[in-house]
Structure 1
Amino acid sequence: MTDVNKNLIKNIPSNPLIIAITGSAYGVHGWIRVFPFTENPISIFDYQPWFIKQTHQWRILILEKWQYHHKNIIMKVEGINDRNTATEQLNYCQLMIEANKLPKLKEGEYYWKDLIGCQVINLSNNILGKVNSIMETGSNDVLVIKINEKKKQKPTERLIPFLYQKVIKEINLPNRTIYVDWGIEF
């Protein structure tokens, strides 16, 4: 049995960002399924090295090869050569990179990670809640807003389409606020 213990690192990532999650093992030679969070699934291979954290230890993963299998991606990592090791050491792990490895965006473009936690305020200055997550729907992304629990409003979530200029009026990342044209009753 082999393992990735030789890839333990002492200098932990300063700003780790999850870009994918691994799935179950594939085959008997240590391949593992991977489910990217990037807009273009194969772009995760542009952002290396990868890190995982297991039992309070950080490891660096070194990619040997990857391929499509049906509509999914499978990959082979250095030091993982059998199904059991892949299952024990890589099953359902978060693949992380240093956030500064991401390319700079053009004006008006945002990474989801930067929007999560922003306070959402409508044009009447009503606080609608904070961005809890973002859903990809195909036609446009949707902000999932967690409603301020202190007000005991029902329901506890609000969905706001990410339609820039039509619904999303302004994003102020330094102040962590998003201004929207959206009624409080929705």
Structure 2
Amino acid sequence: MEKWFNVGKIVNTHGIKGEVRIISKTDFADERYKPGNTLFLFLEGSKEPLELLVKTHRTHKNFDLLTFDGFENVNEVEKFKNGVLKVPESQLGALDEGEFYFHEIVGCAVFTVDGEEIGKITEILTPGANDVWVIKPKNGGRDILIPYIEQIVKKVDVKEKIILIQPMEGLLS
């Protein structure tokens, strides 16, 4: 069974020539929305996704604007509103060393370099310069936030779903 990954949501149309406004959920918008790429539109109530070929891509304010082959005016894309654009796992590109997809990190068990189990990663926040990983502590309590930086995250093994950290003073208290 194909695994799908969300790359954006169509929130509105833009103009009269079939352009749609997207809130992007991908770190690779220029690559993902490149003309000629295929995206799959999942609409509520549809059993099968609609395969769309990207015709044009540009950015405007905080949105990505796309047109698709065969959809030339606003009336044809109006029904796409609130649809979610996804790609199959087979379209995920290779990442550089030290880079990971969110789905690879979420669910990983986190241990200190001394072997103490901290908990599991439940979410990834992207507030700015570096990602912040949210850990649900093994013993309950408040979530622990760790920045994804070299000084703290010492090893990431996505195959074994294990992450080793060197906590800074006060990080776990």
Q: Percent identity?
A: 21
Residues 98-153 of structure 1 deviation map (CA, whole Å, 9 limit, x = unaligned):
223233233333222211211112234333222222122222111122334xx4x3
Equivalent-residue separation in structure 1 for 2:110 and 2:82 (angstroms): 32
Kindly report which structure 2 residues correspond to 1:9-158, keeping only aligned pairs within 5 A, or say none: 14-46=2-34, 48-54=37-43, 55-88=46-79, 90-148=80-138, 151=139, 153-155=140-142, 157-158=143-144
TM-score by length of 2: 0.80
Equivalenced residues, count: 168
Aligned 8 A contact 2:56 2:67 in 1: yes
Aligned 8 A contact 1:128 1:184 in 2: no
TM-score by length of 1: 0.76
Q: Which residue pairs with 1:163 in the alignment?
A: 149
One-letter amino acid of the structure 2 residue matched with residue 69 of structure 1: H
Moved more, 93-102 or 78-87: 78-87
Decide which structure has greater helix share: 1
The SS at the match of 2:119 is: strand
Stretches of structure 1 lacking an aligned partner (at least 5 in a row): 1-12
List, as ranges, runs of 4+ consecutive aligned residues in structure 1 with deviation greater than 3 Å.
78-85, 183-186
One-letter amino acid of the structure 2 residue matched with residue 179 of structure 1: L
Deviation at 1:175, TM superposition (A): 1.0
Distance change (3 Å), C-alpha of 1:87 and 1:129: farther
Distance change (3 Å), C-alpha of 1:40 and 1:49: closer
